[in-house]
Amino acid sequence: MFKGTTILFVKKDGKSVVIGDGQVSLGNTVIKHGARKVRRIFHKKVIVGFAGATADAFTLFTRLESKLEQFSGNLERSVIELAKDWRTDKYLRRLEAMMIVTDGESIYLLSGAGDIIEPDIPVIAIGSGGPYAYSAARALYENTDLNAEEIARKSMEIASDVCIYTNKNFTLEIL
DSSP letters spanning the chain? --SS-EEEEEEETTEEEEEE---EEETTEEEES----EEEETTTTEEEEEEE-HHHHHHHHHHHHHHHHHTTT-HHHHHHHHHHHHHH-HHHHT--EEEEEE-SS-EEEE-TTS-EE--SSSEEEEETTHHHHHHHHHHHHHH----HHHHHHHHHHHHHHH-TT--S--EEEE-
Number of domains the chain contains: 1
pLDDT over threshold 50, residue 92: yes
- Tell whether 65 is covered by a domain: yes
pLDDT over threshold 50, residue 1: no
- Tell whether 163 is covered by a domain: yes
- Tell whether 1 is covered by a domain: no
- Tell whether 121 is covered by a domain: yes
- What's the pLDDT score for residue 97? 81
The active-site residue out of 5, 6, 102, 166 is 5
- What's the pLDDT score for residue 56? 80
Share the mean pLDDT of the chain.
91
Output the domain CATH number for residue 70: 3.60.20.10
- Tell whether 100 is covered by a domain: yes
Domain range for residue 156?
6-174
Residue 5 annotated as catalytic: yes
Taking only the tens place, the pLDDT of each residue in 106-149 is 999 998 677 899 999 999 999 999 999 999 999 999 999 999 99
Mean pLDDT over 70-83 rounds to: 95
pLDDT over threshold 60, residue 2: no
Q: Between 170 and 29, whose confidence is greater?
A: 170
Mean pLDDT over 1-21 rounds to: 89
- Tell whether 129 is covered by a domain: yes
